[in-house]
Chains A and B, each alone.
Chain A
């Protein structure tokens, strides 16, 4: 996935919008490519309305009568953990959803690597102890098949994911498994410097259409049931989905973590431009 054109373009166009203030613990040890809130001065630029007034250089104003802003090097956490839900539900509805999940994983991995850190990417499936995927091993991600039946919550609770403190955690999942959002997010945010929660849904999961009678098969539990997918049933489904998203968003706000839902069919670049940038997860390089 390192050489995926969309991933490459995204990595070249955007950089991670990490928090200026650490959530907890000591500050980051790595300096980012962009400006940030570190003490290392990087350069000046002209003041533009909206800039933080605290960064105005009054001395330079005295010398040149120009309002200048002091820009400092960005300070980021030294470790980034990317948790990719490897369960079967991530490959439902065609290829768009697993592709986007892989692309986002690779993109954040590469972006974190460019910042000088060594990102750890965990593919959460049924293995008891999950190995982390390095940037060099990103090519293995291309053929990942999403065959796990264990959901994300169970894997984290079981300690299968070797999470480290003060890391920036990016969690990529559809979150369409039975769980308590508050508990799950609390576990994911535990000891993390920052947490990003990204929900990937395909078009049918986001906006199902009336298909009539279908034998619904759950991708993970394999439970089957006959249903008539009609407007009433769709309305009920959407109510439950919105409730889930609302609870996830609420739990993320408590953990000072951004939460956003992206539509798989939009493609990586659109998601980066429309969703990630708007949420502050990415910014233009």
Chain B
């Protein structure tokens, strides 16, 4: 074991040793005092050679203690280091977190387990003292543990379940390079070697454990529900990603009850849609797929949550002879999940544009002209044939073109309008500012327009209804893909109706749960596990949604190959543990203090 000084400049402190000797030899520490009878002062007399002026260096306790203190200080500053004591190999391991790592070859462990075994062999080869940092690839790079001992790392490794859809490895590699910079080795464990177009870090070793495997799986699934027939429909697509034809069985269950079961044959690389009716009120369906040669289980199961009916209640508060009543009743009857209701229950009120609605956060209002129904007002109104200026980004105008539409009965609005559709200086359709109500006003007289006869009319109203439906509290979607963002509206408007003592909002998944921040729109970024999630608001269930794995890239195991890519750059740096010399420094400091105190005591005694 080599010995060296980590800070050799500290040895300059040794120059203090001859300085101390010189001081003791020549320096008169105290002012001289010529006395008679020195023996009476308690000093032992000694015979000196006559005429001798300079005496030998007195080896006093003070000298020895001061030399000792100086020596210790110098050595402490020089930081003596014994070879590689206190340094161990640091292995930074990047684990491919792709779902394909769960694939299991026949009669062999899964790629994930093979990776764990390779890692254990590697760490044992490095020695039991090696430290390990584990991190996983993914959209969000995660450090599982580290730097930590292998015993601790094993526990973290045991909980690793690769579930990610296809993603870029580069962020994880960059993070690993950062962590290992100058003090570690990087090992990437995956199931396929990166292509030539990818440039992994030169110092990283890549071990691929993959091999080509057969696999069938779902590529998509959704559950529709018809509120009129009260019958739901399951739409699914399955694919054979392998190189041989596969007999595939499909079985749907709701709890313990089997809803359906069927078999089909999929040729190599083929996919097939499956549509099945399911009765309403089931709530949750689990569909499983079986195949003789299937290596990846994660894409064989789909769990779907039954969609909830989110009807929009509309009240038409227009006079019976109002020109807009007919077109409105006609178009609303054609739209999905719309109920005509009374004003007090309505989510959307349609009324005369001349009378502004009360200000309420959970109220939507559609005002219909004319603003001034008097004869004078009618006389002053103008009709236009375009061109119209449409705010294309506005969701109300999605798909609306107003081609050939005569916009008749245009009057000067009695209040400000933020234009959605305008012509020149006239606002034809606009949003009313300055109110909590979402208020939209038509500057239009249906008696003088052909809008209701144009194809833009149902599109425009459907957009309005769907906007209103989307603003209703509750989940708007119940089935998601893995790594897809989830969001829902907790309450309408900006004010929490339960603001005084709001119940806690929790997201539960299997046995885990985590709190969610209460706001009008709750955002859950990319759930990372498949299965059913439940949103609980206090003691009540706010809703459930399901997350399923659909990723043709990860499901296709035919591109997996074993391989090894040696690091292009040598990586033999060692990782310094917590300074093992700290106790030496403490001991040195203690001895220095002891020597100084003893020196002081000796001088005091003199």
Contacts and interface: CB of A to CB of B under 8 A. Distances in A.
Given A223-B38, A237-B40, A244-B40, A214 B33 contact: yes
B36 A216 contact: no
A226 B60 CA distance: 11
Contacts of A211: 33
Interface in B25-74: 28-43, 45-48, 50, 55
Nearest to A212: B30
Contact of B41 (A177, A219, A233): A233
B46 A213 contact: no
A136 interface: no
A119 B34 CA distance: 33
Contact of B28 (A215, A228, A236): A215
Nearest to B42: A236
B29 A226 contact: yes
Nearest to A244: B40
B511 interface: no
A52 interface: no
A205 interface: yes
A227 B36 CA distance: 15
Nearest to B55: A224
Interface in A158-196: 174, 176-178
A221 B31 contact: no
B604 interface: yes
Contacts of B34: 92, 217, 219
A218 B35 contact: yes
Interface in B558-606: 603-604, 606
Interface string B92-114: 00000000000000000000000
A240 B42 contact: yes
Given A226-B29, A240-B42, A177 B35 contact: no
A227 B41 contact: yes
A213 B30 contact: yes
B396 to A, nearest CB: 98
Q: State which size class the interface on A falls in.
A: 20 to 34
Contact of B42 (A89, A224, A226, A233): A233
A240 B33 contact: no
A216 B41 contact: yes
Given A214-B30, A215-B30, A226-B30, A221 B40 contact: no
A215 B41 contact: no
A214 B45 contact: no
A129 interface: no
A225 B43 contact: yes
A21 interface: no
A66 B50 CA distance: 71
A92 B42 contact: no
A221 B48 contact: yes
Given A227-B43, A227-B606, A228-B606, A176 B31 contact: no
Contacts of A244: 40
B250 to A, nearest CB: 102
Contacts of B39: 178, 240
Contacts of B46: 221, 223
Given A92-B34, A219-B35, A149 B43 contact: no
B38 A216 contact: yes
Interface string A218-256: 111111111110000100110011001000000000000
A225 B38 contact: yes
Given A213-B30, A215-B31, A89 B40 contact: no
A176 B34 CA distance: 13
Contacts of A214: 30-33
Contacts of B30: 212-215, 226-227
Contact of A149 (B33, B41, B50): B50
A174 B36 contact: yes
Contacts of B43: 216, 223, 225, 227
A237 B41 CA distance: 5
Contacts of B42: 233, 236-237, 240
B297 to A, nearest CB: 88
A87 to B, nearest CB: 8
Contact-size category for B: 20 to 34
B603 to A, nearest CB: 8
B402 to A, nearest CB: 107
B45 to A, nearest CB: 6
Given A176-B40, A221-B48, A92 B35 contact: yes
A92 B36 contact: yes
A264 B226 CA distance: 131
A213 B50 contact: no
A244 B606 CA distance: 23
A135 B55 CA distance: 44
Residue among A92, A213, A223, A233 with max Cβ neighbours from chain B (10 Å): A223
Contact of B35 (A90, A178, A216, A228): A216
B40 A223 contact: no
B38 A240 contact: no
Nearest to B45: A178
B37 A223 contact: no
Interface string B441-463: 00000000000000000000000
Nearest to B47: A221
Contacts of A236: 41-42
A178 B30 CA distance: 25
B28 to A, nearest CB: 5
Given A92-B35, A214-B30, A237-B40, A223 B50 contact: no
A217 B32 contact: yes
Given A92-B34, A174-B36, A217-B32, A223 B48 contact: yes
Contacts of A177: 36-37
B37 A221 contact: no
Contacts of B606: 225-228
Contacts of B33: 211, 214-217
A215 B29 contact: yes
Contact of B37 (A89, A212, A224): A89
A222 B36 contact: no
B32 A221 contact: no
A170 B49 CA distance: 32
B35 A217 contact: yes
Contacts of A215: 28-33
Interface in B502-517: none
Contacts of B35: 92, 204-205, 216-219
Nearest to A243: B40
A214 B38 CA distance: 12
A221 B30 CA distance: 19
A93 B236 CA distance: 118
Given A225-B43, A240-B42, A219 B48 contact: no
A218 B38 CA distance: 5
A233 B35 CA distance: 15
Contacts of B38: 216-218, 221, 223, 225
B36 A221 contact: no
B59 to A, nearest CB: 14
B604 A240 contact: no
Nearest to B604: A228
Contacts of B48: 221-223
Nearest to A204: B35
B43 to A, nearest CB: 5
7 contacts: A90-B36, A176-B37, A205-B36, A224-B55, A227-B30, A240-B39, A240-B40
Given A177-B36, A218-B45, 12 more contacts: A89-B36, A174-B37, A211-B33, A214-B32, A218-B36, A221-B38, A221-B45, A223-B46, A226-B29, A227-B30, A233-B42, A244-B40
Which 4 residue pairs are nearest across A and B when measured between Cβ atoms?
A: A176-B37, A89-B36, A218-B38, A213-B30
